[in-house]
């Protein structure tokens, strides 16, 4: 004899299976959209930081668009902070992406996206000098001859460690006014600044009898990367894929040159004597062999 309870059970199972099939079909048919990945980054109301960060935020937006995946992007207003503090905020997921100068410590504690955001431009350094010393610097032909003079840098700047490692005499200042005072009082002979930074301050040097030296350039490999927390593997994957697509289709270089092309042209690196230094802070996995990722004179 027919079992009414069993028949009701079979009909219920069939109904549930049918619902699952319909749901699966809607997913396969693309009607169910994946949740967008949410990216957050720190921003400051400090005008100097805001101007610098415009480039990084623009690259971040470019990378996310090029990834082809759904995303949301949010800026979090915070006070200016050191890069070490930012590393702690990334680890605690106060925000989930930031641009930092790479080091073995940072690459061990976070996930680096190993595509240099400045294309290494941060490691091309021109010198601020006293205008009366131009002839003296014109005679410099090697790192050793430059080491007879005294450099100045900011306290805690990674570049200070690089210059110390390369046996330069160095005097440190705690802030920008202190650096300028060091130079105007002739307590230091030169102040190396990155090519992408130096021209934005050049106009403030004239009344202090300081100039951008026009004969020399220092160079050492150095890289800013996007970093994310180790718990944010999907965010890292999306950034890596999007940035690499931008490299491959030329949009990365176009954005880079739009931002720094004038500073590069003004620096006239091809006619300068380039003094190459060793960077002891550079991690071993830095992609130095991928020529697409670095600014090069040739």
Contact 170, 237 (CB under 8 A): no
pLDDT at 265 over 80: yes
Mean pLDDT of 170-179: 93
pLDDT at residue number 203: 86
Closest CA to 182 of 156, 154, 216: 154
pLDDT in tens, 56-81: 999 999 999 999 999 999 999 998 88
pLDDT > 90: percent of the chain: 80
pLDDT at 229 over 50: yes
Give, in order, the Cα–Cα distances in Å from 25 to each of 19, 35, 277.
10, 18, 60
Which DSSP letter does residue 105 get? H
54 alpha-carbon distance from chain centroid: 12
d(CA 70, CA 119): 27
d(CA 175, CA 201): 14
Give, in order, the Cα–Cα distances in Å from 207 to each of 57, 131, 174, 184, 210.
34, 11, 22, 10, 8
Contact 247, 292 (CB under 8 A): yes
pLDDT in tens, 158-168: 899 999 999 99
Which DSSP letter does residue 286 get? -
What domains lie within the chain, and their CATH numbers?
37-120+223-267 (3.40.190.10), 123-219 (3.40.190.10)
pLDDT in tens, 245-264: 999 999 999 999 999 999 99
Predicted model pTM:
0.85
Let me know the angle formed at the C-alpha of 124 by 120 and 129, rounded to the nearest 5 degrees: 155
Determine phi and psi for 217, rounding to 5 degrees: -145, 140
pLDDT at residue number 31: 54
Mean pLDDT of 132-149: 96
pLDDT at 29 over 70: no
**CA neighbours within 13 Å on the CB side: how many for 121?**
19
């Amino acid at each position: 004899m027919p079992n009414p309870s069993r028949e009701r059970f079979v009909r219920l199972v069939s109904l549930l299976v049918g619902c699952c099939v319909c749901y699966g079909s809607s997913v396969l048919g693309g009607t169910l959209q994946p949740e967008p990945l949410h990216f957050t980054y720190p921003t400051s109301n400090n005008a100097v930081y805001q101007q610098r960060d415009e480039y990084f935020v623009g690259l971040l937006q470019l990378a996310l668009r090029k990834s082809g995946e759904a995303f949301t992007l949010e800026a979090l207003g915070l006070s200016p902070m050191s890069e070490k503090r930012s590393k702690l905020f990334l680890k605690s997921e106060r925000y989930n992406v930031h641009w930092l100068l790479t080091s073995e410590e940072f690459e061990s504690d976070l996930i680096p996206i190993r595509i240099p955001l400045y294309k290494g431009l941060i490691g091309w350094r021109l010198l601020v000098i006293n205008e009366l010393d131009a002839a003296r610097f014109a005679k410099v032909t090697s790192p050793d001859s430059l080491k007879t003079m005294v450099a100045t840098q900011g306290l805690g700047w990674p570049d200070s460690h690089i210059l110390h490692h390369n046996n330069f005499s160095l005097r440190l200042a705690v802030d920008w006014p202190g650096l300028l005072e060091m130079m105007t009082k002739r307590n230091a002979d030169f102040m190396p600044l990155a090519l992408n930074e130096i021209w934005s301050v050049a106009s403030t040097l004239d009344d202090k009898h300081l100039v951008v030296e026009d004969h020399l350039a220092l160079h050492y490999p150095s890289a800013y990367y996007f970093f994310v927390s180790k718990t944010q593997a999907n965010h890292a994957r999306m950034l890596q894929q999007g940035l690499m697509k931008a490299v491959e289709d030329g949009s990365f270089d176009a954005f880079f040159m739009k931002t720094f092309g004038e500073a590069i042209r003004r620096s006239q690196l091809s006619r300068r004597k380039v003094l190459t230094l060793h960077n002891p802070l550079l991690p071993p996995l830095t992609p130095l062999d991928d020529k697409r990722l670095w600014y090069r004179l040739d």
